[in-house]
Amino acid sequence: MSGHVVASPEGFQLPDSQLRVIRWMIYLAFFALAIGILNGLGQALNYSRVDILQYFPGMRNYYQGLTVHGVVNAIVFTFAFANGFLSLTTSRALARPLRSSLLWASFGCMVVGFLLAAYAMGSGQASVLYTFYPPLQAHWTFYLGLALLVVSTWVIAAALGLGLRAWRKEHPGERIPLMAFISVATYAMWVLASLGIVVEVVGLLLPWSLGLIEHSDPLLSRTLFWYSGHPVVYFWLLPAYVSWYLMVPRHAGGNLFSDSLTRVVFLMFLALSIPTGFHHQYTDPGIGTGMKALHAVLTFGVFFPSLLTAFSVVYALEIGGRRRGGTGLISWFFKLDWRNPALVAQVLAMLTFTLGGITGLINASYNLNQIVHNTAWMPGHFHMTVGSAVTLSFMGIAYWLIPYLTRKELVGGGMALISSWLYTAGVLIMARGLISGGLDGMPRRTLVMEAPYEKPSWELAGMLTGLGGTLMFIGGVLFFTVLAATVLSGKKAKEPQDLPFTKTIQGPAETGWELRLDRFRYWIIATVILIVVAYGPFLVEYLPGNFTSPPYRFY
Ligand code: HAS
Ligand code: CU
């Protein structure tokens, strides 16, 4: 394949010690997903009035189940996967191992954090949902566990930063390899983004749960939460984008269009992900309309890098389809290798994400948000984003990553294909149910079957939700079967493999303005300025806050 490299040298092999810790992180991620998917089945069936949660060991009620589902899927699974996967892409691209001690430290933080949060949730002392809004109060181990999970990502950020610095010393004046650049940009964004949730959890909620602070300030906590809570969705998404940009074109036999455009996209995510959190708080009293409008405008700004992504990835697929003999406007699409599970899972993830993105645009529209906010529409939106664009992509990545990390061949490729299709059909049917129900006023986060105000017209929506969720669950079971069979009984691969990454048609520029793209320092300063503009006025007006609410534990 001709083109420009995104990581060099060709065929470089990372040492086993590096692969071992990364393998454990990926195992941890999928272990969490397994729990989350099982729990998700219970959630979906609740909408169709089938209560199976009562049979789950340790699950006392709907809110406990929903908390476990959100925390293990949206926080443990995604963080562990990002930590492992982007450590791998960065160290491979720089052709140097990252510090093993840091990677193990991160893994340790994740395990301890997960156990602490699991204890709190499992013992019924943290049924506060994954947004843990005060005045709902959880046991202190829940907050400490979450804090440790965030610390695990900071440790990885340090490992990536140190790796990059050492590489730069050895390669003065060279462009950062694209695969390392976009991985590091993701972590740079997240380190800035996670500050809000850390201040909230460590500064406010942990002391409050320990009785050191008597009262909480719901609005201040929500604001700090969503300062991190919107950008976290891109921390979930960008590892999938790393794969869509750099690996999917390779599976499809195509090439990535442009090195510079890819860098620009990730820098846009760095700058624009954070100053948008108020789009989750359009209905919150106490925040000025002008500030909400500013966040709305910036939200439309952060839409653009995803539009650019759609262009780049579809073009890469098209090149692949045409190389395989495809012609015409659309028919190249059917010439793709529909027997490669790593490709199929991720193309289906992209197709679903188109709908996920469109529903996001509706959420972001200030006035339309009033109709869909806090309804079942919302889980409809986010299962087509994090629940499939991200999760199905990570599953697709697993189809080559697990063989790569274990040096074994994939077992059950056919089953992997069925899994991807079932999961996609499931998520689309479920989202159809949730979205139509939401438009009809069906609330989110409610045990609908016990709601006294239940409407007969929600019945179809609820049935579709339950049916779709069941199909997703079966897809998930097949996925885990493939994974377990590969790890336990896969044949030893004949020779060591390299990561499957593409080449770019337009390579990195050697002169001109594009060199400045690599100076992270300037982009981070620009990001901080935008954050100050977006959050400064509210904080100046609101601080020191109103700490007046006593704690509540309902469930
Ligand atoms: Fe969102 C709420 C707005 C993206 C996740 N979002 C949520 C919640 C979650 C979530 C979990 O403005 C609920 C939080 C809670 O519990 O309360 N979201 C957006 C916008 C985007 C967006 C504007 N969301 C995501 C992503 C998520 C995610 C990504 C997870 C990974 N979202 C909102 C808003 C709310 C919200 C409000 C709050 C609502 C409320 O009232 O509570 C955008 O970033 C989306 C951009 C995406 C696109 C799609 C590009 C398509 C691509 C694929 C192309 C490939 C193809 C291949 C088509 C523009 C890249 C096909 C092949 C061919 C042959 C064509
Ligand atoms: Cu958001």
At 501, the pLDDT band (50, 70, 90 cuts) reads very high
Catalytic residue among 49, 373, 445, 553: 445
Q: What sign has the CA pseudo-torsion 384, 129, 47, 458?
A: negative
**pLDDT at residue 58 in the model:** 66
- Nearest Cα to Cα of residue 401 among 502, 503, 497, 489: 497
Question: Is the CB–ligand 1 distance for residue 363 below 6 Å?
Answer: yes
State both tokens at 314.
């579809």
Which pLDDT score is estimated for 524?
Answer: 97
Under 8 Å between Cβ of 464 and 432: yes
351 in contact with ligand 1, CB cutoff 6 A? yes
User: Which residues, in sequence order, are CB contacts of 270 under 8 Å at separation 6+?
Assistant: 185, 188, 189, 192, 523, 524, 527
Which two structure tokens, joined as six digits, stand for 397?
């990545």
Whether residue 57 has pLDDT greater than 70:
no
Structure tokens at 240: 């999938």
Would you say residue 17 lies in a domain? no
For residue 53, what pLDDT is reported? 73
Q: State the Cα–Cα distance between residues 73 and 90, nearest whole angstrom.
A: 24
Residue 336: closest CA among 417, 242, 241:
417
In a domain, 511, yes or no: no
Give the whole-number percent of the chain exceeding pLDDT 70: 99
Q: Clarify whether 230 is annotated catalytic.
A: yes
Q: Is the pLDDT of residue 211 over 80?
A: yes
Look at residue 352 and tell me whether its pLDDT is greater than 90.
yes
Residue 416 has pLDDT above 80, yes or no: yes
The answer to whether 187 and 132 have CB atoms below 8 angstroms apart is no
In a domain, 234, yes or no: yes
In this structure, what token pair is assigned to residue 246? 């750099």
> Ligand 1 centre and the CA of 272: distance in Å?
14
Given a cut of 60, whether residue 1 has pLDDT beyond it is no
Average pLDDT over residues 370-394: 97
Whose CA is closest to atom 31 on ligand 1? 386
Is pLDDT of 52 > 90?
no
pLDDT at 26 over 60: yes
Residue at 513 is within a domain: no
Residue 505 lies in a domain: no
Q: 449 or 241, which is more confident?
A: 241
Q: How confident is the model at residue 121 (pLDDT cuts 50, 70, 90)?
A: very high
The answer to whether residue 381 is catalytic is: yes
Task: Identify any residues that bridge with 216 across adjacent strands, giving them in sequence order.
Answer: 549
Average pLDDT over residues 387-407: 97
Residue 136 has pLDDT above 80, yes or no: yes
Dump the DSSP string for 524-544: HHHHHHHHHHHHHHHHHHHTT
Question: Is 440 part of any domain?
Answer: yes
Mean pLDDT, rounded, for 402-429: 97
SS3 call for 552: strand
Give 396-453 as a DSSP string: HHHHHHHHHHHTB--S-HHHHHHHHHHHHHHHHHHHHHHHHHHHTTPBSSS-GGG-TT
What backbone phi and psi angles, to 5 degrees, belong to 258?
-140, 130
pLDDT (average), residues 398-426: 97
Query: What are the percentages of helix, strand and coil residues in the chain, rounded to 5?
Result: 70, 5, 25
- Would you say residue 297 lies in a domain? yes
Q: How confident is the model at residue 428 (pLDDT cuts 50, 70, 90)?
A: very high
- Please identify which of the residues 382, 394, 501, 535 carries the catalytic annotation: 382
Encode pLDDT of 517-548 as tens digits: 999 999 999 999 999 999 999 999 999 999 99
User: What mean pLDDT value characterizes the chain?
Assistant: 95
Given 77, 234, 423, 479, the catalytic residue: 234
pLDDT at 206 over 70: yes
Question: How many domains does the chain contain in total?
Answer: 1
Query: Smallest Cα–Cα separation from 312: which of 245, 389, 390?
Result: 245
Identify residues whose C-beta is under 5 A from ligand 2, the ion.
230
Q: Is residue 385 part of a domain?
A: yes
Do 419 and 411 contact (CB within 8 A), yes or no? no
CATH of the domain at 232: 1.20.210.10
Is 88 in contact with 402 (CB distance < 8 Å)?
no
Query: Is the Cα torsion angle 85, 129, 377, 196 positive or negative in sign?
Result: negative
For residue 278 and ligand 1, the question of a CB distance below 6 A is answered with no
**Rounded Cα distance, 401 and 408, in Å:** 10
With a 6 A CB cut-off, is 354 part of the ligand 1 pocket?
yes
State the angle between helix axes of 218-229 and 520-542 in degrees (0 to 180), rounded to the nearest 10: 160
Atom number of ligand 1 nearest to Cα 296? 12
Give the percent of the chain with pLDDT over 90: 90
Residue 145 sits at φ, ψ, to 5 deg, of -60, -45
**How high is the pLDDT of residue 543?**
95
Q: List, for residues 253-295, the tens digit of each pLDDT value.
A: 999 999 999 999 999 999 999 999 999 999 999 999 999 999 9
pLDDT of residue 156: 98
Question: Which has the higher per-residue pLDDT, 58 or 244?
Answer: 244
> Does position 2 have pLDDT exceeding 70, yes or no?
no
Per the CB < 8 A criterion, the answer to whether 470 and 41 are in contact is yes
- Residue span of the structural domain in which 104 resides: 23-447+455-499+518-542
**DSSP state letter for 257:** E
Q: Quick check: 447 pLDDT over 90?
A: no
User: How confident is the model at residue 157, as a pLDDT?
Assistant: 98
Helix (H, G, I), strand (E, B) or coil at 554: coil
**382 Cβ below 6 A of ligand 1:** yes
